[in-house]
Structure 1
Amino acid sequence: MRLTRTTSALTRRTLLRALGAGGVLGGLAGCGVPGAYVAPGDRAGPDLSADDKRLTWANWPLYIDTDDTDTTRRPTLEACRGRTGISVDYVEEINDNDEFFGKISPALMNHQQTGRDLIVVSDWMCARFVRLGWVQEMDRARQPHVTKYLDPLLSSPAFDPGRRFTVPWQSGITGIAYDRRRLGRELRQVSDLWARDLKGRVTLLSGLDEAFALLMQGNGVDITAWTADDFHRVVDQVEAYVGNGQIRRFTGNDYTKDLVSGDVLACQAYSGDVIQLQADNPDIRFVVPEEGAELWSDSLMIPDRARHKTNAERLVDYYYEPEVAAELAAWVNYVCPVPAARDVLAASGDEDTAALAENPLIFPDDGMRGRLAVARDITARERVEFARRWNKVVGL
């Protein structure tokens, strides 16, 4: 098995634009459109898998392993076809959670096929699909590797207890990145962002779903069960730090440019991005604060009326085999949802690849795992109010 590192993760994550909810999408996700909900008995369509060994999979760009010399080839997918006979039409069409939601929602709310058997979106968006009844429950009898190897930290988010409808594709941590050389000291707590010598040299993420959990953890909040009061307290604090100039600006993934240039000394950041930045600048550090950090996922789902449900379930399970998960992790450099893949990488015989097994931003160690949590998502009823207040502070 060939295991190769890649630098694609930074580019892939840069494409993420979490725009929050508003307008038509926000209303649809709420309770104001009764016809949008699909009852469990109306979600399945005829499954052609037994006679039609194929499926269509929609994913984000640069989120799967590719061949060194031919980027149109995807080794793990090709190996899956050789083993199962399933041919995959792999479409890199997801650049934004809300945009993709808007693309396929008309079909789903009208009980029609989307033309896709498998999709990958961020867990906060998965929550919307699950609440609307727009995804099918997976048959774990066809997924023994998911059952055995799924990381317990990711196994039961609030929006999908027991992961009946979703399976993590890749995960990451939202924590703090900083330049140790320029700053001249370590950062250990969320409150360190508010130090006087960092005034005007701090950025936060602009997306509501990306930003709020870490800031709540800085207040000692259990993000698996946070409240509206916890949210408004955070926004009050952020508003004050904007007002006094502590926060330089709010960013998408362009925070990486500010950190590299030295315009910013500390920022809210994604673990996968920092792994890539460290390849060129080992002084850039990533910290899971003492108060904790958010563990998030982009997850696989089978939409309603999918024509190849069984094929999709088999493909998902294939990627949970430790050897396959290891090959994927060596390319994308996110937190691997299959901890058993660590041993595969460690035994690879390649020095660089084996080093990935010791990287806590891919395989968090026990100390870090104890500080990670999956945040309760923002419900449909909360979203419009919360997004309106957050976006006003951020300036969106």
Structure 2
Amino acid sequence: MGCMVIAYKKSKFQNYKLDPIVDWTDLWRPELVGRISLVNSPGEVIGAVLKYVGASYNTENMDLQVAGGRIVVQQNLALLGKQVQLFGSTNFLKAFGVGDVWVAVGWSSELLPAVKCMSNVTVIVPKSGASLWADLWAIPAASRLETNQIGGRVRGSSPLIHQWIEFC
């Protein structure tokens, strides 16, 4: 399980007297042109643009649910493309690690372990929200065994499991 996060080099931001990153909108700041690396995931990139224009990550119909519709999303996607030095699956972290970029946007499961070895890095979950994910959810298949042993119980999934999965 994890979510999308933004990591940035705190020392670079302090040296250049830049405000810290707190939300998706900060990725469009002019002083960050060419200083951002982003995971190569169209869904996450579009999700970031949707959050930037004040829409939900889960927007289903851009023309109906986004002020300005698909055109505004496309325009802001193009602007973000100019901000980003590279989109990649692994290179986005390498570029961040060696200092080629000051900001990295990616999955918490990849960014958090990587930045543990780095100094002066801050990782945030954007204040307006981010995507959440879980790689694998399963309902265990166990027989309904009753036992007379202490602590014994009828085994099997909770009757509420399907409601929980539907909720999520």
Q: TM-score range by the shorter chain?
A: 0.5 to 0.7
- How many pairs does the alignment contain? 134
Q: Secondary structure at the match of 1:215?
A: helix
Instruction: Please state which structure has a larger fraction of its residues in helix.
Output: 1
TM-score (norm 1): 0.31
Aligned to 1:286: 123
CA contact (8 A) 2:6 2:103 kept: yes
Q: Secondary structure at the match of 1:313?
A: coil
Q: Give, in whole Å, the separation in 1 of the partners of 2:80 and 2:57.
A: 22
SS at match of 1:203: strand
How big is the shift at 1:235? 3.1
Asked if structure 2 preserves the Cα contact closer than 8 Å seen for 1:202 and 1:266, the reply is yes
Q: 1:254 to 1:186 in 2, by over 3 A?
A: same
Identity of aligned residues (%): 22
Deviation at 1:265, TM superposition (A): 0.8
- 1:298 maps onto 2:135 in alignment: yes
Contact conserved, 2:11 with 2:120, CA < 8 A, in 1?
Answer: yes
Partner amino acid for 2:93? T
d(CA) in 1 for partners of 2:32, 2:58: 30
**Which residue matches 1:313?**
141
1:194 aligns with 2:33: no
Counterpart position of 2:76 = 237
1:213 paired residue among 42, 47, 61: 47
Structure 1 residue ranges without an equivalent (≥5): 1-170, 303-311, 315-373, 375-396
Contact 1:174 1:214 in 2 (8 A): no
The whole-number CA distance in structure 2 between the counterparts of 1:193 and 1:225 is: 20
Secondary structure of the corresponding residue to residue 291 of structure 1: coil
Once superposed, what is the RMSD of the aligned Cα atoms? 2.4
Q: Point out which structure has higher relative CO (alpha carbons under 8 A, 6+ apart).
A: 2
Query: What is the DSSP-based 3-state SS (H/G/I as helix, E as strand, rest coil) of the residue aligned with 1:213?
Result: helix
Per-residue deviation, 1:198: 1.0
Alignment-derived partner of residue 3 in structure 2: 173
How much has 1:292 moved relative to structure 2? 1.2
1:182 to 6, 9, 12: 12
Q: CA deviation at 1:301?
A: 5.3
Q: Distance in 2 between matches of 1:284 and 1:220?
A: 27
- Structure 2 residue runs of 5 or longer lacking an equivalent are 143-167
Per-residue deviation, 1:226:
4.0
| C-alpha displacement of 1:225 | 4.4
Query: Aligned partner of 1:189: which letter?
Result: D
- Change beyond 3 A, Cα 1:217–1:274: same
1:115-154, Cα deviation, whole Å (9 max, x unpaired) = xxxxxxxxxxxxxxxxxxxxxxxxxxxxxxxxxxxxxxxx
The answer to whether the Cα contact below 8 Å between 2:4 and 2:132 also exists between their aligned partners in 1 is: yes
C-alpha distance in structure 2 between counterparts of 1:207 and 1:278, whole Å: 20
| Residue number in structure 1 paired with 2:157 | none
Deviation at 1:216, TM superposition (A): 1.3
Superposition deviation, residue 173 in structure 1: 0.7
Separation of aligned partners in 1, 2:39 and 2:107: 10
- In the alignment, the residues of structure 2 paired with residue 187 and residue 177 of structure 1 have an alpha-carbon distance, to the nearest angstrom, of 9
